[in-house]
Amino acid sequence: MRLLLLSGLGPYFLESHLLDGTLLASPVDPEVVADYRAMAGHDVDLARFSFQGRPLLRSYQGSMPHLGTETLRSILDRAGIEHELFDLSHVWRKDREPEGSFDVVALSTSFLCDAKSLGAVLKWIDRRHPEATLVLGGQYSNLKYRSLMERHRQIDFILRGDGESAFPRLMQALAGRLEMAFVPNLVFRGDDGQARAGDLDHVDLEAQPSPSFCGTPTIIPYESMRGCPFACRFCSYPSASPRWRYRSAGRIVDDWKAYLRNDPTVLIRAQDSTFTAPPDRLRLLLDLLPEVGVRWEAYSRADVIDGPATVARLEAALCQALQIGLESMCDATLRLMNKRVTVAQNTRAVELLGRSSIDLRAYYIVGFPGETPEAWEETHTYLVERHEGHFGLHVFAAVDETMPVWQDAPALGFEATGALDWKHSGMDSATARELARRALRETRWKNDAAVLRQWQLDYQSPLVPELDRRANLRLEKLLEKLAFLRKDRGRDSDLCRKLLHEVSLMGIDVRERPA
Q: How far apart are CA 41 and CA 37, in angstroms?
A: 5
Of the listed ranges 31-35, 97-101, 492-496, the least confidently predicted one is 97-101
Q: How far apart are CA 431 and CA 344, in angstroms?
A: 27
What digits encode the pLDDT tens for the residues 300-327?
Answer: 999 999 999 999 999 999 999 999 999 9
For the chain, the structural domain boundaries read 63-197, 210-458
Give the end-to-end CA distance of the chain in Å, rounded to a whole number. 51
The answer to whether residues 359 and 324 touch, using CB atoms and an 8 Å cutoff, is no
User: What b/e string do you get for 246-282 counting C-beta neighbours within 10 Å, with b at 16 or more?
Assistant: bbebebbbebbeebbeeeeebbbbbbbbbbbbeeebb
Name the DSSP class of 366: E
What digits encode the pLDDT tens for the residues 421-467?
Answer: 999 999 999 999 999 999 999 999 999 999 999 999 889 889 999 99
Average pLDDT of the residues in 257-272:
92
Is residue 175 classed as helix, strand or coil in its secondary structure? coil
Phi-psi sector, 422: left (phi>0), alpha (psi -120 to 50), beta: beta
**Domain spanning 210-458 has what CATH number?**
3.80.30.20
pLDDT tier at 61 (50, 70, 90 boundaries)? low
512 pLDDT higher than 80: no
Please state whether beta strands 319-327 and 359-366 pair in parallel, antiparallel, or not at all (unpaired).
Answer: parallel
Q: How far apart are CA 403 and CA 459, in angstroms?
A: 31
Q: How far apart are CA 512 and CA 515, in angstroms?
A: 9
What digits encode the pLDDT tens for the residues 334-368?
Answer: 999 999 999 999 999 999 999 999 999 999 999 99
In what helix (H) or strand (E) does residue 321 lie, and over which residues does it extend? strand 319-327
Please report which residue ranges of 303-364 form alpha helices under DSSP H. 308-316, 331-336, 343-354
The candidate with the shortest Cα–Cα distance to 50, out of 515, 510, 496, 429, is 510
Which of the four CATH numbers 3.40.50, 1.10.287, 3.30.2390, 1.10.20 does domain 63-197 have?
Answer: 3.40.50
Phi then psi for residue 267, to 5 deg, are -110, 130
The whole-chain average pLDDT of the chain stands at: 94
In what helix (H) or strand (E) does residue 452 lie, and over which residues does it extend? strand 450-452
pLDDT tier at 242 (50, 70, 90 boundaries)? confident
Q: How far apart are CA 202 and CA 164, in angstroms?
A: 10
CA distances from 345 to 303, 304, 341 (A): 5, 9, 6
> According to the model, what pLDDT value does residue 15 have?
52
**440 burial level (CB within 10 Å; 0-12, 13-18, 19+):** buried
Long-range contacts of 40-43 (CB under 8 A, 24+ apart): 40/493, 40/496, 40/497, 40/500, 41/497, 42/511, 42/512, 43/512
